[in-house]
Amino acid sequence: MKPFESAVEMMAALRRGVTLARELLEFHLERVERYNKALNAIVIHDFEHAREAADEADRARKSGSDGPLLGLPITVKDCIDVRWMRGPAGEPEHAQRRPRHDSPVAARLREAGAVFLGKTNVPPLASDWECENPLFGRTENPWDPSRTPGGSTGGGAAAVAAGLSPLELGSDISGSIRVPAAFCGVYGHKPSETAVPRSGHFPGSHLQNPAAVFLSIGPLARSAEDLELAFDIIAGPEPVEDTGWRLDIPPPRHNRLSDYRVGVMPSVDWLPVDDEITSALDRLAGGLALAGAAVELVQPHALNDLRERHQTFCSLLGAMTAVSRSESERREQAEKKCEGEFEQAYCSGFTASAVDYLGWIDERERVRASFRDFFEEWDILLTPANIVNAFPYTNSDSPDRTIKVNGREVGYYLQLVYAGVASLGGQPVTVFPAGLTRAGLPIGLQAIGPYLEDRMPIRFAGLLSREFGGFRPPPNFV
């Protein structure tokens, strides 16, 4: 058995009888025993129940049963409710939080036959790109232990990249699937905003909140095919809504790279991006053109230079963040000296009126309409996944902290911009590996697709892997 096989390959081996679910689980538990102490990616587990579930999967298969994930060990982000498994979201005050019920997505994975190996580390309340909290400590990036694996699904991306788990379920508001996937060199998919149930997520609610925006729950894996496997299982309406609603995601528009019409987002002068990321994007655009695809520097017209759109995103993000805060915490945030247009927009969300909120939603709908117009002519919009590759831990939670881009200190929260473009529109996005830096760190790019055409960016990423290469194992975990 090989540690970096895809989930699709592992499922094929289970169906052929080449391996048993219990053997596959023990194989991964051995890797967890060997590597996780230093990596600290999987922080909550119940291996005995996992063994019982694997044995049950073997009995079911022996009796002739099957399922899309029958016998496959998986991990789940700490924030996603799995019944009776702790879910504190990295917060000591919630250390003993144990949901009584599966979230809808966990229930669908369980019904598909998945074996829950454990839950993965996050920053406190899933609110950072550094994966460290006072309850479980710090997760290392498997490519460089001094660097963050990204956040907030940092533990999950590290576990998949290191071969501790073949499949992870994460969540994303402002890059929490996409940035860890890019930093750890794996694939990640942020679904269309309404394609997957969002209830049963903490912070959040066990109930559906139709007024909430941005949150998406989706998979991380070592291949695009694995993303599609997981997406097909978890996609669908919220419970109760499924009484009458059905979700029918169309197939991808094309199955050959030469048929794709690819827009590449132009750079903007106010937003610095690491030179090695822009070079990777340029190389890919050139390679796609040579492969016969239509490639052009172009973007939805409403995005303009991204500045006003990012202000709207920050205002809505502030309002969403304020929901989980007490009144005193909201007041304290609002009274802070918020410097800079984006910080001011974020702070405004903490004291926003219903009228303010509906106004921002109206602006958001104009952006969504612009994306619809764009995707009538184009199939994919390519952008950086972030302005920087995996960076050293800053050991700070200061609002004034910085990161280095091309040797220059820039504002830490500028990392929100490229993630926010797709989140504001509710678009599906697939992040994929696009090579390594000179220092040997992964570079990730994101392919934004048309709303509710999630198979489009996933298939595009899969075709890229065949033509230009995909996942590479971190050297110290082979």
Q: Locate the domains of the chain by residue range.
A: 7-263+378-477, 299-377
d(CA 77, CA 314): 24
Name the residue type at position 261.
R
Q: Give me the mean pLDDT over the 420-444 stretch.
A: 98
**pLDDT value at 7 more than 80:** yes
pLDDT in tens, 243-256: 999 999 999 999 99
d(CA 156, CA 53): 21
Name the residue type at position 437.
T
Q: Which of 176, 223, 348, 423 is catalytic?
A: 176
The lowest-confidence range among 66-70, 322-326, 443-447 is 322-326
CATH number at 7-263+378-477: 3.90.1300.10
2 catalytic per annotation: no
Categorize the per-residue pLDDT at 1 as very low, low, confident or very high, splitting at 50, 70 and 90.
confident
pLDDT in tens, 160-185: 999 999 999 999 999 999 999 999 99
**pLDDT value at 356 more than 80:** yes
Q: Which of 103, 152, 216, 423 is catalytic?
A: 152
Residues with Cβ within 8 Å of residue 304, at least 6 apart in sequence:
none
**pLDDT value at 334 more than 80:** no
**Residue 47: per-residue pLDDT:** 96
Contact indicator for 274, 387 with CB cutoff of 8 Å? yes
**Residue 123: per-residue pLDDT:** 98
165 catalytic per annotation: no
Of the candidates 95, 98, 122, 116, the residue with the CA atom closest to the CA atom of residue 41: 122
**Residue 3: per-residue pLDDT:** 87
**pLDDT value at 335 more than 80:** no
Contact indicator for 425, 451 with CB cutoff of 8 Å? yes
**pLDDT value at 331 more than 90:** no
**Residue 62: per-residue pLDDT:** 98
Q: Give me the mean pLDDT over the 298-308 stretch.
A: 98
Contact indicator for 154, 43 with CB cutoff of 8 Å? no
| Phi, psi angle pair for 168, to nearest 5° | -125, 145
Q: Residue 156 is encoded by which pair of tokens?
A: 């999950």
Q: Residue 280 is encoded by which pair of tokens?
A: 């990777």
**pLDDT value at 205 more than 90:** no
Name the residue type at position 84.
W
The lowest-confidence range among 102-106, 130-134, 181-185, 346-350 is 346-350
Contact indicator for 12, 223 with CB cutoff of 8 Å? no
**Residue 318: per-residue pLDDT:** 95
Contact indicator for 171, 214 with CB cutoff of 8 Å? no
**Residue 175: per-residue pLDDT:** 98
- Count of beta carbons in the 10 Å neighbourhood of residue 271: 17
Query: Per-residue DSSP letters for 276-304?
Result: HHHHHHHHHHHHHHHTT-EEEE---GGGT
What value does the mean pLDDT of the chain take?
96
Under DSSP, the state recorded for 74 is E
**pLDDT value at 333 more than 90:** no
119 catalytic per annotation: no
Q: Give me the mean pLDDT over the 347-352 stretch.
A: 92
Q: Can you say how many angstroms the Cα of residue 218 is from the centroid of all Cα atoms in its chain?
A: 6
d(CA 61, CA 55): 10
**Residue 327: per-residue pLDDT:** 84
Does the pTM exceed 0.75?
yes
Q: Which of 6, 77, 119, 423 is catalytic?
A: 77
Residues with Cβ within 8 Å of residue 211, at least 6 apart in sequence:
none
Q: Where are the beta strands (DSSP E) in 137-273?
A: 137-138, 167-172, 187-190, 216-221, 261-264
pLDDT in tens, 120-160: 999 999 999 999 999 999 999 999 999 999 999 999 999 99
Categorize the per-residue pLDDT at 32 as very low, low, confident or very high, splitting at 50, 70 and 90.
very high
Q: Which helix (H) or strand (E) holds 193?
A: none
| Phi, psi angle pair for 79, to nearest 5° | -75, -15
